[in-house]
Every structure is written in structure tokens, then in C-alpha cells.
Structure 1
Amino acid sequence: MLYSLFNNYKRKRNRAKLKDDSFSYLFDEDESGEYVVFDTETTGLNPKVDEILSIGAVKIKDNKILTSETFEVYVKNSKAISSKSIEIHGIRPCDLENAKNSKDAVRDFLEFIGSRPLIGYYLEFDVSMINKYVKPIFGITLPNKMIEVSEIYFEQKIALIPQGNIDLRFDTILKDCSLPNMGAHNAVNDAIMTAMIYLKLTKEKIDVRKTNF
């Protein structure tokens, strides 16, 4: 009960800091029955200094991955992209020539997610990267409920092999769940694969619409 009261208090404080009331819907109770799975591609792994290069997301509803409703945006960056990060996400400077500025990209993302619960793989990092842009623009941090797939996977595995060494790498979880690897690790593909993992771990029927592997 104390934990719930503390969360409500934090939420109210966060809401009071919102600079743009047209985004007050972010704090509404979600009634869509949908979840949003999202991923970011970045210049590095330090939210304090690194930048978002792209955001990808997909919705889940009624045990279906709605790939007809994916979200993808490329974001202009202010720093050079290292060759090491290009090897990981494949985003080159020429891919960002028509990218949106960070304010417009984040506004579009917030409109896409609304107040829906968010799902991700190591979601804390992606949320930290989003909040890096959201807080200066809107005064708040993302208020959405968060669901971490690696935590669900760990809890299921540790129940079977207590004190075991659980491999939480993305490709390992994907393989262990007998799910197809969609290849290129871009933000949208990673979001769709994470959605598949979530549905498999929560013992839901996976129905991927309009997706070819």
C-alpha cells in the first residue's frame, strides 16, 4: 500500500511539471487495451552523452502484433556516428539526411504511444534515452507503465534452475523461445521481435499481422 501511495505521489508530481497541456492524455488511464513495444538505436550506451538515431515501435492488441501499425522515425544527431555503432545498427550519416529534429520526433512518438503500457528489452535504457529529450521539452518523464521482457524471462528461468546462470542476451532469449530472428537489428525489427518474446513468455498466442520473415 505504501509503495502504491508513493507511486501515485510521484505520478502527481510528474503531471504537475507538464509544460504542454495538449499532452495531458499521457497521464490518462489507458482504455485501448493495447501495449506498445519500442526500441531505440543510439550513438552509444550512455544516456548522458549519447543521442537517439532512430525510434521503432509496434502495438500489441488481443494477442496480435499489429505490424500494420508500426512507428519508425529517424532523428537528427549533432555528433559524428562512430564506426563501431554503425556496425551494430547499420545507420549511416546518409541515412539521416531526411531525419526529423529531436523535438518533432519525440512529439510524434508520444502521440503514437499515448498512455499505453510500454514493453521493451532492457527498457530502462531506452526510456532513459527518450526521457533525455522529453524532460527538457515537456518538463516530465514518461509516465507510462513499464514491462521488461528480460525480467519476465529471468523469473521464469530462475524458478526452474534456482541460482543458475541465466543468459539474458537478446538472441539467446529469442532462440530459447523458438522464435524467428528477423535479421537486421534496426529499431522496428527489434521491437517486433521483442513483442514476439513477450507474447511467448506470457503464454499468449502469437499472431503477427502482415509480417514476412
Structure 2
Amino acid sequence: MRFMDRHFALFGGSLRTVFKRESDRRRCMGTPFEWLFHPYLGKELVALALRTADADADADILSVAAVVFDERRVHTRSAWVVTLADPGRTRHATLQRHGTASLLPSSPENVGALTEFIGNRPVVGWGLCDAMAPINRLLSDRLGFELPNTQVDVAKLYQRTLRRSHLEPVGPASFGEALARSRLPAPGGASLLGEASACALLYMRLQRDAALHA
């Protein structure tokens, strides 16, 4: 079984998701984005970490860190880390809280660059089921479709691992707890790239542990 196959049953989907994806696929036929809906045949995945404006009402802001990894390593040198916002409508203090070095307008061209970087590779992330809502809204507004990739919520994967080990906590585990229990370093500061990289490492560790106990 290949590295990325074992836990894809944890895709946080629904019947609505299936119908929406098929509708988006048909809408994108004949466009430059058609290939994103093709099955992925490679061995890489993309770990995502996302941050939104939360309570800030002055602008729509989405910071994204996307890092490619495989079963052997995390490719942090080629990561995609940027804040997508309208600089003219966004307060400087708000941007500082997002902590990314690159600021780009959330134009169709820049949002399209993000989707092309992710490609049709599977995506993983902590709490991915909830985290995908802002990026899907942005893609729908700018490009007319939601991200069609296979998705794995590492939080759900970790909870399932705990249940199998009879160590499930009373409440949902936090990302920091999962990293500590897996003996992985926590990301420093508020680094989105560090968060995405740590999530990739956690996924790799859970995959290896599952293979040992299979």
C-alpha cells in the first residue's frame, strides 16, 4: 500500500461535497484548471496551514502556508507562504498579526497560482474539515470552484489512532498535544510554515505507526 493510501477514508466529505465537486468539474472542462480534477498518480502530498482575519471586519484576509512532502521528507524550501488580502483596505496591525512576509492581492491570478502550486495532490491539515471553508470561499469567488483535492484531516486521523491504542482523551486533542505525544517539535512562534511542516511530520509519524501495527 502506498504512503498516501492508508488513511484517505478519513476524507471529510459529504453528499453535498460530492455533488459540488462534480458540478465544479463539469464547469472547468476545457479551462486551464481542468487538470486539477484529474486523479493524482504521484507520491507527494501538500500540508496546509490557514489563518483568517477572525474578528477583524476591515477586510477579507487569508494567510496560507502550503508545503509539499512525501514519505521521506518535507520540502520546506519550495513552500508557498503568503497572505492574500487587499492592501488598500487592510490595516497594518491586522497584517502584522498574520506574520507572513509576502502580501498579495487576492486576485484571480494569485489565487490561481496557489491552486496550481497545490495541484491535484492530496492535501492534509489539522482540523482541515473546518479550515477549508475560507479558502473554498475565496476560490469560489475568484475562480468559480472549490478545491477538489482529496483531503485528510490529521486531527481525525490522530483521534482514530488514540482509540486504537485505548488512549483517547476525554475531549478533542489539540495540535500541540498531538505533537508532544508523538515526540515531534512544536512550530515556533506563530509560523504558518512551521505549522504546516509540523502537520506533515505528524501525518508521516501516524502513517509509520499504523504500518508497524498493521
CA distance in 2, matches of 1:139, 1:168: 35
Cα displacement string for residues 30-75 of structure 1 (whole angstroms, at most 9, x for unaligned residues): 12221000111221179x9973342111111233211222111222
- Larger mean CA deviation between 168-177 and 121-130 belongs to 121-130
User: Quick check: 1:43–1:82 contact (8 Å CA) kept in 2?
Assistant: no
Tell me: CA distance 1:160–1:61, structure 2 relative to 1, closer, same or farther (3 Å): closer
Tell me: CA distance 1:128–1:9, structure 2 relative to 1, closer, same or farther (3 Å): closer
Report whether the alignment pairs 1:57 with 2:66: yes
- Larger mean CA deviation between 114-123 and 65-74 belongs to 65-74
Name the residue aligned to 1:210. Answer: none
Q: Secondary structure at the match of 1:111?
A: helix
TM-score relative to the length of structure 1: 0.77
Q: CA deviation at 1:10?
A: 4.5
Q: Percent identity?
A: 24
Name the residue aligned to 1:41. Answer: 51
Name the residue aligned to 2:192. Answer: 187
Corresponding pairs, count: 193
The structure 1 residue matched to 2:203, chosen from 198, 204, 208, is 198
TM-score relative to the length of structure 2: 0.76
User: Quick check: 1:34–1:61 contact (8 Å CA) kept in 2?
Assistant: yes
Name the residue aligned to 2:146. Answer: 141
Could you list the runs of 5+ residues in structure 1 that have no partner in the other structure?
Answer: 205-213
The structure 1 residue matched to 2:34, chosen from 15, 18, 24, is 24
The structure 2 residue matched to 1:159, chosen from 140, 161, 164, is 164
Higher relative contact order (CA 8 A, sep 6+): 1
Q: Secondary structure at the match of 1:71?
A: strand
Q: Secondary structure at the match of 1:44?
A: coil
Name the residue aligned to 1:102. Answer: 106
Q: Secondary structure at the match of 1:56?
A: strand
Could you list the runs of 5+ residues in structure 2 that have no partner in the other structure?
Answer: 1-12, 210-214
CA distance in 1, matches of 2:58, 2:66: 23
The amino acid across from 2:66 in the alignment is: A
